């Protein structure tokens, strides 16, 4: 370990970790649960990491959704996760042993309202999540709960056409109110929708929309995210009627980009690209659709149905804080890219992990500083981690590469705080190994705790502390002074 030159973390800083129900819980058929969007993603055996990522960006077709829902031949890892539904008590004790001050996870919409459109919730699901939240609190960790982390009930897609249908707003509002009524006395920090800006990168998971359900798919995507923005405002309004202590946050995956050079075309393209990344949070913190977004919609033949009532809701109920996920930085080149959010170029100055994610610790400082300067709202690092193939040797995992990645990024969080950013906490992604969101691989590991399961679901399920376990424990004890 080394001394952190930017050890400026407040004493109440929420050192923590984050997972998602869709990647950890398993228990696919128990207690009334029905399939959600993550449950329909098979492990693509024999495909390269690059091929898997390209298929993810393509999204789902309606025929594939129907086929995967009924498929009994292929392996669907997220249906099984790490069996956290049954193991959460001992897993949480392991995390508490590491000294975590907070723990972020999600509640699965398809457990609480299995088809999404029921009038009444599934009590068995609420009982389960209440026990889990009570356990988090009993172990001294602050629960940070995400209402939707890629768990839209598949029925919402098949019956309603996904989030592009305005009716889904009221269904999700009913779900959100149910969670707040039940848990707001126990949960202070809420994230309404995970990575609300990932509509072109992970369209199926984000919106529950099939690529062939709509003639103008980009219009459907932005219409769907408009409905999500309205739903967030409605839930924020309701939460404050219960308690002003409720902190309702939004979350984005940082997608801002550097210019390829100081050539003016590159500079302007980076500006335009980043504006369309800030679009989501501009609406949720500034309370209105910015002119540059309306221009983008017009130029790309996107016509949204936005009512005056919608705009009034957005203006009156901005979010309380901004959560971000950050793993890598991006770059745009005016000779190759457009201002579409998913049009980027690899940065030649940075090294990448096996999945092509370019490692850039200073990019986290850059992102946090930009968000703070733009909104002056509290920030939370909701995800940051290093996916890598871990080797179990003589019962141990020496993951020095993970320690190096995380220490460099934590240092940059302290640097952002030093320069004035109000950062509430840092949640390392996947403190215990879970199924990868982007690749459905168990071998893409992030955890401080190894889970003995392979990509095809085989293994003892034994939990083993990695070298990074004791490292992160020491970071937390020192309040980030040692990294």
- Name the residue among 148, 120, 121, 127 with its Cα closest to residue 21: 148
Q: What is the pLDDT of residue 132?
A: 98
How does DSSP assign 384-422, residue by residue?
Answer: E---B----BTTB---HHHHHHHHHHHHHHHHHHHTT--
With 90 as the cut, is the pLDDT of residue 339 above it?
A: no
Instruction: Work out the average pLDDT over 262-286.
Output: 97
With 90 as the cut, is the pLDDT of residue 423 above it?
A: yes
Average pLDDT in the chain: 96
Q: What is the pLDDT of residue 341?
A: 81
The Cα angle at residue 53 between residues 49 and 54, in degrees rounded to 5: 120
Between CA 305 and CA 226 the distance in angstroms is 9
Q: What is the pLDDT of residue 200?
A: 87
Tokens 């509290």 found at? 378
Contact assessment for residue 224 and residue 214, using Cβ atoms and an 8 Å cutoff = no
Q: What is the pLDDT of residue 46?
A: 86
Tokens 């790309």 found at? 300
Q: Strand 449-451 vs strand 463-465: parallel, antiparallel, or unpaired?
A: antiparallel
With 90 as the cut, is the pLDDT of residue 319 above it?
A: yes
With 90 as the cut, is the pLDDT of residue 274 above it?
A: yes
With 80 as the cut, is the pLDDT of residue 189 above it?
A: yes
Q: How far is CA 224 from CA 22, 170, 228, 297, 300, in A?
A: 21, 13, 6, 14, 16
Tokens 């085989």 found at? 458
Q: What is the pLDDT of residue 449?
A: 98
Q: Which CATH superfamily is domain 14-477 in?
A: Glycosidases (3.20.20.80)
Instruction: Work out the average pLDDT over 51-77.
Output: 90
- With bands split at pLDDT 50, 70 and 90, how would you rate the model's confidence at 302? very high
Domain ranges (residues) in the chain? 14-477
Instruction: Work out the average pLDDT over 114-137.
Output: 98
pLDDT, tens digit, 9 for 90 and up, residues 358-417: 999 999 999 999 999 999 999 999 999 999 999 999 999 999 999 999 999 999 999 999
- With bands split at pLDDT 50, 70 and 90, how would you rate the model's confidence at 50? confident
Which residues, at least 6 apart from 55, have a Cβ–Cβ distance to it below 8 Å?
A: 44, 47
Report phi then psi at 247, rounded to 5: -110, 115
pLDDT, tens digit, 9 for 90 and up, residues 242-267: 999 999 999 999 999 999 999 999 99
Q: What is the pLDDT of residue 57?
A: 74
Report phi then psi at 323, rounded to 5: -100, 140
- With bands split at pLDDT 50, 70 and 90, how would you rate the model's confidence at 95? very high
Q: What is the pLDDT of residue 207?
A: 97
- Name the residue among 334, 327, 150 with its Cα closest to residue 260: 334
How does DSSP assign 290-354, residue by residue?
Answer: -HHHHHHHHHTT------HHHHHHHHH---SEEEEE-S--EEE-TTT--SSTT--B--TTS-B-T
Which residues, at least 6 apart from 329, have a Cβ–Cβ distance to it below 8 Å?
A: 256, 257, 258, 347, 350, 358, 360, 363, 366, 367
pLDDT, tens digit, 9 for 90 and up, residues 97-113: 999 999 999 999 999 99
Q: What is the pLDDT of residue 197?
A: 97
The structure's pTM equals 0.96
Instruction: Work out the average pLDDT over 426-448.
Output: 96
Instruction: Work out the average pLDDT over 80-92.
Output: 98
């Amino acid at each position: 370990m080394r001394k952190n030159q930017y050890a400026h973390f407040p004493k109440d800083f929420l050192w923590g970790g984050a997972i998602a129900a869709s990647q950890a819980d398993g228990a696919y058929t128990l207690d009334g649960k029905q399939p959600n969007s993550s449950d329909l993603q098979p492990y693509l055996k024999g495909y390269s990491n690059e091929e898997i990522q390209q298929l993810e960006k393509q999204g789902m077709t309606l025929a594939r959704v129907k086929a995967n829902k009924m498929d009994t031949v292929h392996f669907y890892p997220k249906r099984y996760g790490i069996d956290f539904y049954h193991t959460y008590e001992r897993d949480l004790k392991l995390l508490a042993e590491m000294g975590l001050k907070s723990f972020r996870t999600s509640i699965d919409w398809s457990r609480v309202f299995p088809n999404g459109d029921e009038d009444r919730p599934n009590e068995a699901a609420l009982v389960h999540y209440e026990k889990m939240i009570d356990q988090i609190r009993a172990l001294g960790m602050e629960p940070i709960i995400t209402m939707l982390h890629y768990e839209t009930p598949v029925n919402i897609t098949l019956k309603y056409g996904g989030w592009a249908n305005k009716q889904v707003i009221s269904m999700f509002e009913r779900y959100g109110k149910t969670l707040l009524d039940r848990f707001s006395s126990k949960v202070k920090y809420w994230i309404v929708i995970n990575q609300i800006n990932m509509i072109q990168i992970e369209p199926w998971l984000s919106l529950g929309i099939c690529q062939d359900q709509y003639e103008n798919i980009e219009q459907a995507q932005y219409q769907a995210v408009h409905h999500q923005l309205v739903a967030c405002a409605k839930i924020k309004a309701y939460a404050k009627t219960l308690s002003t202590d409720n902190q309702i946050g939004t979350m984005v995956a940082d997608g801002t980009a550097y210019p390829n050079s100081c050539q003016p075309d590159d500079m302007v393209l980076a500006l335009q690209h980043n504006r369309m990344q800030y679009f989501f949070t501009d609406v949720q913190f500034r309370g209105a659709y910015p002119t540059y977004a309306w221009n983008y919609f017009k130029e790309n033949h996107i016509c949204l149905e936005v009512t005056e009532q919608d705009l009034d809701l957005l203006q009156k109920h901005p979010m309380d804080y901004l959560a971000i996920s950050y793993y890598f930085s991006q770059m745009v080149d005016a000779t190759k890219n457009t201002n579409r959010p998913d049009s980027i170029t690899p940065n030649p100055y940075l090294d990448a992990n096996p999945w092509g994610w370019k490692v850039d610790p200073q990019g986290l400082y850059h992102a946090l500083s930009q968000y703070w300067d733009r909104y002056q709202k509290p920030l939370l690092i909701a995800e940051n981690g290093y996916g890598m193939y871990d080797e179990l040797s003589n019962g141990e995992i020496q993951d020095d590469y993970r320690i190096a990645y995380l220490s460099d990024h934590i240092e940059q969080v302290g640097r952002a705080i030093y320069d004035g950013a109000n950062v509430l906490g840092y949640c390392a992604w996947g403190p215990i190994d879970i199924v990868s969101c982007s690749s459905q691989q168990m071998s893409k590991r992030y955890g401080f705790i190894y889970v003995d399961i392979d990509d095809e679901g085989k293994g003892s399920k034994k939990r083993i502390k990695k070298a990074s376990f004791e490292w992160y424990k020491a970071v937390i004890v020192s309040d980030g002074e040692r990294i």
